[in-house]
Amino acid sequence: MEAGGCPDGVCAAVDVHYLRTGGARAAAVLAADATFAHVLAARTAVLPQVLPYRPGEFYLRELAPLRAVLDELSGLGLLVVDGYADLDPSGRPGLGAHAHAEFGIPVIGVAKSRFRTATHAVPVVRGTSARPLFVTAAGMPAADAADLVRRMAGRYRLPDALRRADTLARVGPPAATATDRQPD
C-alpha cells in the first residue's frame, strides 16, 4: 500500500452497534488517505434485524450491517475494523478476514483487548496510553498495517476515525437542524 494513500481512492473505518430492538447501526468514516487525516464523509445504516450472536460466528452478525453501510460506495481500497482480522497465527479467520473475502480489499483489524490465541497480533502503543492496541491484517502484511495504525490521525490510544465510527454507531448521526437545510 502506498504511504498515506488508499489504493483505489477511499479508505473506511467502520464499527457496528447492536440496538435493543434487535437491529444494528453500522457507521463508516471515509477518507482519501490511509491515515484518515482528511476525512471526506461519514455515513450510517440501520438494519431492523440482525442474526443473533453465535460463539465463533461473530462475523455473520457483523457482515450484514457492514454491507449496508458500505453499499453503493465506489472506489473502496482499505477497510479498518474494530476487531481482529485473524484469530491465531495459523490464520483462523476473524471479522477482518471475512470482510477481506467479502469486499476484496485489504482489511486492518484494530482490537482494544488481547485475544488469547492471537499471539501474532502486533501490539501498537499510541498517544500517552501504556495499553497497546492489537493489530492484525488480511490482504496486506501485519507489520505494514501496524505502522499505518501508529500513523493514523488522533492523539489518543484509538485512532480518531475508529473513535468517530464507534460514536456514530452507538448514537447515530446528529439530528438535522433548521440551519442544516438547504434553501428551496
Q: How far is CA 44 from the centre of its chain?
A: 13
Containing structural domain, residue 20 = 10-172
- On whether residue 151 sits in a domain, the answer given is yes
- On whether residue 73 sits in a domain, the answer given is yes
Q: How confident is the model at residue 173 (pLDDT cuts 50, 70, 90)?
A: confident
Mean pLDDT of 55-72: 89
Q: How confident is the model at residue 128 (pLDDT cuts 50, 70, 90)?
A: very high
- On whether residue 141 sits in a domain, the answer given is yes
Report the pLDDT value the prediction gives residue 154, as an integer from 0 to 100. Answer: 96
Mean pLDDT of 60-83: 93
Q: Is residue 184 scored above 50 in pLDDT?
A: no
CATH number for position 100:
3.30.2170.10
- On whether residue 120 sits in a domain, the answer given is yes
pTM of this structure: 0.90
Total number of domains in the chain: 1
- On whether residue 3 sits in a domain, the answer given is no
Mean pLDDT of 161-172: 96
Question: HEC string of the chain?
Answer: CCCCECCCCEEEEEEEEECCCCCEEEEEEEECECCCCCEEEEEEEEECCCCCCCCCCHHHHHHHHHHHHHCCCCCEEEEEEECCCECCCCCCECHHHHHHHHHCCCEEEEECCCCCCCCCCEEECCCCCCCCEEEEEECCCHHHHHHHHHHCCCCCCCCHHHHHHHHHHHHCCCCCCHHHCCCC
Q: What Å distances lie between residue 31 and 41, 82, 98, 131, 155, CA to CA?
A: 7, 17, 22, 26, 18
- On whether residue 178 sits in a domain, the answer given is no
- On whether residue 147 sits in a domain, the answer given is yes
Answer with the residue of higher pLDDT: 37 or 2: 37
Mean residue pLDDT across the chain: 90
- On whether residue 77 sits in a domain, the answer given is yes
Looking at 28-37, 57-66, 106-115, 132-141, which range is the least confident one? 57-66
Question: Are the CB atoms for 22 and 34 separated by under 8 Å?
Answer: no
Looking at 37-46, 47-56, 170-179, which range is the least confident one? 170-179
Tell me: the pLDDT tens digits for 134-144? Answer: 999 999 999 99
Q: Is residue 163 scored above 60 in pLDDT?
A: yes
